[in-house]
């Protein structure tokens, strides 16, 4: 075990919690109208025709054919990203891959999947391919965009971007219906929990150090992540918590019924571990669900390479069942 003890933060990124304490965290109660709110949004996203457009990419790889992709999401927002397909073999499944808070400037070529069409969207407002003024591309401001209006809050729009990404994959490869998964880290992990809970087309999900879990804790625990911006905002807008309850990844996770792999960290200065574990612990008890414990997230540590290798192998096995 190599939980960091030497760090530059003026708070304890373990928050003084033992593994047993983290595993005992229960998800928050859903606010009134939670399911209806998201079901309505999902219906709206399903009505969108994404019209995916493919073009040659400046990126290249020996194992993957790489193409740039653009599609139209809800509110007419243009989403850009990359599509990877195998150079050898058929496309038998699809995977939407989320990103951290900061966007994405290239696809990942080392995902341990085969015979898979992999879509890497940049969610609305995020670098490098979905800049959308007036949404700020900078995480501390992005997370605040329209935060006082649940129907317009940017986080809801990003969830819709994932749903429409699934529609885009199906438009390109109709035969993969029933064989689409989602994988996301940090920001993409929280967005993923919200998306998977209400989209039956996503049949497996992998979330690493997911954010947006247990918003009450999220608003109180010291952090260097996006929650810090919202905590500062809440000082002058104390009613923001009630609105954020509709965007709680742990509340959503309790509604997920497909196999899940959640990787959560015991030390994390950007996404407080209690909030991560709130998401993982909320997943229904099932022989198909897996929890992978990392010593740390958003921080380099001694056994990082070893644990990431083990997690990668687990991810590969997990998605082979898709």
CATH number of 21-320: 3.40.50.1820
DSSP per-residue codes, 151-169: TT-HHHHHHHHHHHHHHHH
Look up residue 53 and give its two tokens: 């457009």
Encode pLDDT of 52-96 as tens digits.
999 999 999 999 999 999 999 999 999 999 999 999 999 999 999
Sheet of 78-86: strands edge to edge? 53-56, 64-72, 78-86, 116-121, 93-97, 180-185, 202-208, 260-265, 290-294
Encode pLDDT of 133-182 as tens digits.
999 999 999 999 999 999 999 999 999 999 999 999 999 999 999 999 99
Encode pLDDT of 281-293 as tens digits.
999 988 899 999 9
Q: Where are the alpha helices (DSSP H) in the chain?
A: 19-23, 34-46, 139-142, 154-172, 187-196, 215-218, 226-234, 240-244, 249-253, 273-282, 304-320
CA distance 86 to 112: 12
Residue with tokens 């809440």: 234
Question: Is the pTM above the cut of 0.85?
Answer: yes
Estimate to the nearest angstrom the gap between the alpha carbon of 264 and the chain centroid. 13
CA distance 82 to 105: 10
């Amino acid at each position: 075990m190599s939980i960091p003890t030497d760090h530059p933060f003026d708070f304890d990124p373990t928050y003084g919690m033992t593994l047993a304490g983290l595993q005992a965290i229960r998800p928050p109660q859903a606010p009134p109208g939670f399911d209806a709110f998201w079901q309505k949004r999902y219906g709206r996203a399903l009505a969108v025709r994404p019209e995916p457009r493919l073009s040659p990419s400046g990126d290249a790889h020996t194992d993957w054919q790489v193409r740039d992709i653009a599609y139209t999401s809800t509110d007419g927002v243009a989403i850009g990203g990359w599509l990877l397909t195998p150079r050898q073999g058929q496309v038998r499944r699809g995977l939407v891959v989320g990103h951290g808070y900061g966007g994405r400037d290239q696809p990942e070529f080392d995902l341990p999947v085969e015979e898979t069409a992999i879509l890497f969207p940049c969610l609305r407002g995020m670098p490098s391919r979905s800049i959308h003024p007036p949404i700020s591309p900078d995480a501390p401001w992005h997370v605040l965009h329209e935060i006082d209006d649940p129907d317009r809050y940017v986080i809801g729009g990003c969830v819709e971007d994932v749903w429409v990404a699934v529609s885009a994959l199906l438009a390109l490869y109709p035969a993969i219906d029933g064989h689409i998964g989602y994988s996301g880290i940090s920001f993409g992990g929280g967005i993923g929990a919200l998306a998977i809970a209400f989209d039956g087309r996503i049949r497996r999900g992998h979330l690493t150090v997911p954010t947006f879990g247990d918003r009450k804790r999220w608003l109180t625990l010291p952090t260097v992540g996006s929650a810090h911006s919202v905590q500062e905002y809440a000082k002058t807008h104390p009613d923001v918590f009630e609105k954020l309850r509709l965007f709680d990844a742990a509340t959503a996770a309790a509604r997920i019924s497909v196999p899940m792999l959640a990787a959560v960290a015991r030390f994390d200065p950007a996404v407080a571990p209690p909030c991560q574990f709130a998401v993982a612990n909320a997943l229904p008890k099932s022989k198909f669900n897996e929890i992978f414990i990392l010593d740390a997230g958003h921080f380099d540590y001694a056994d990082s390479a070893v644990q990431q290798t083990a997690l990668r192998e687990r991810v590969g096995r997990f998605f082979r069942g898709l």
